[in-house]
Amino acid sequence: MWFGLADAGRVWHLDPMRASLLILWVVASVAACGDGATLDGHDVSDATDIFDTAEADAIAEADSAEADTTPDDTREVADDTGVTDTATPEDTVEADGADAIEDVAEDVIEEVADADATDPVDTLAAADAESDTASAWTPPEPVGCLTEVSAGHHVVSCEGGLLYDVEIPAACTTAPCGLIVDIHGWTMTAASEDANTDMRARGRDRGFVVIQPTASLLVGVPTWGLDADAPRVHAFVLDAITALRIDTDRVHVMGFSQGGGMTWRLLCTHPEVYASAAPIGPITGCSFAGDQAPAGEVDILDVHGRNDAVVSYSTTGRPQVDAAVAYWPFGAGVVVEEDADHTVTRWTTPSGTVLEHWAHDYEATSVLLRGHCFPGSPQLIAFPVAFGCADTGTFDYAALAVAFFEAHPRD
């Protein structure tokens, strides 16, 4: 089978392979001009994508032309001089082949025109968006003493004899996640804190990296010194934010007892970092004066047992809340939830910042603790004491904290 191209009375004989190569050469020559190359006024920089279809169409039309011609056929063909000659079957195939290639060329131009018409701006915008997304994410890398940044659970040792348990969900190694800092109380560790909050698992489920520091030992037990340790923990948090590409609008802090005092200290000294906080049974952590006078507002969920035998509700817990209410421009408190065992009071500033205070009457199994416990914790038996509230039907502090964090990112 042969294709013929007529040019000023001459016939160019091309077999299908050469005809295909000719088409490819034309298309590729134009495409090689780069973005913005045109053919009959149309952008053909992507025209090579159409070549396979064009080649198949050309061969199919030529085959059809040859199949329709028998040795006995004669047709009259007018050349460009107007003289009518008797055409042989071979001449007819050559002419039909030329027509087929011309038709295919026109089809290529039409398809390129159609491609131009299909929202090239949208196509480029989509490609740019995909590129921006890919380039915006930088994989985690070690910073400071945070030397392990892969998915999973890591324990690292840092300045001041502090240990940090760091839980990194797999999803947080490919896209930004939030961060929850969960700080234990006196005599506790990161492990016993997690036994009461289950925050590592909650973080994996809700898209948060979880950091649980362990204090250095004093007289044999982990003990927080707020003045010395709060800056150290905060420095580690800043390193973690950088190393793990944390979403800085979703950094939160929580803690129990001494860890609750650490929570108040961090939110007061660094309100630009912590979007919201959830101290429980806290010691006094913020004086709201001097370098503890916060420069911005922070959403706070404060939980305290009215029968707390370790950190008095009346002399420590409630006065800390009252100091915050007096410092920020909160309106009158509103009771939003109440039953026989707990009361929830909410204050709101004109800008929408909230302080919720959850006062409860739940108690632990130990008379040494009484109301100094975690509502909703499963830890009811532990040595030397179990910090879970023994009452049934309580609210779940840890679940409440995560829900509060999710509802209160930085604006």
pLDDT tens digits for range 16-61: 444 444 444 434 443 444 444 444 444 444 444 444 444 455 445 5
- Give the three-state DSSP class for 331: coil
Q: Which pLDDT score is estimated for 300?
A: 99
Closest CA to 244 of 201, 203, 279: 203
Exposure string (b/e) for 105-136, b if CB count within 10 Å is 16 or more? Answer: beebbebbeebeeeeeeeeeeeeeeeeeeeee
Q: With beta carbons less than 8 A apart as the criterion, state whether 299 and 277 touch.
A: yes
**pLDDT tens digits for 262-285?**
999 999 999 999 999 999 999 999
Are 76 and 163 contained in the same domain? no
pTM: 0.69
Judge if 335 and 370 occupy the same domain. Answer: yes
Q: Which of 135, 162, 194 is the last residue of a domain?
A: 135
For residue 157, give the H/E element and its range.
strand 152-158
CATH code of the domain in which 187 resides:
3.40.50.1820
Residue 184 sits in the same domain as residue 210: yes
State what percent of residues in the chain have pLDDT above 70: 67
Task: Determine the structural domain holding residue 395 and report its residue range.
Answer: 141-407
Q: In this structure, are 117 and 159 located in the same domain? A: no
- Given 135, 167, 195, the domain boundary residue is 135
If one counts every other C-beta atom within 10 angstroms of the C-beta of residue 382, the result is: 14
Structure tokens at 96: 């039909």
**What torsion, rounded to 10 degrees, do the Cα atoms 201, 205, 209, 213 define?**
-20
DSSP β-bridge partners for residue 3 = 14
By residue count, the chain amounts to: 411
Residues 129 and 146 occupy one common structural domain: no
267 shares its domain with 308: yes
Give me the pLDDT at residue 383, please: 80
| Residue 210, amino acid | V
Shared domain for 223 and 102, answered yes or no, is no
C-alpha 187/C-alpha 204 separation (Å) is 27
Summary count for the chain: helices (H), strands (E): 10, 18
Same-domain pairing of 185 and 130:
no
User: What is the C-alpha separation between 301 and 401, in angstroms, rounded?
Assistant: 7
- Give the pLDDT of residue 217: 97
C-alpha span between 143 and 188 (Å, rounded): 27
Asked whether residue 24 falls in the same domain as residue 108, the answer is: yes
- Number of structural domains found in the chain: 2
Mean pLDDT per segment of 10 residues, for the chain of length 411 residues? 41 44 42 43 44 48 48 41 43 47 50 47 48 69 97 96 98 98 98 98 98 97 98 98 98 98 98 98 98 98 98 98 98 97 98 98 96 97 91 96 98 85
84 Cβ neighbours under 8 A, 6+ residues apart: 76, 77, 78
Residues 108, 164 within the same domain: no
Q: How many CB atoms lie within 10 A of CB 170?
A: 10
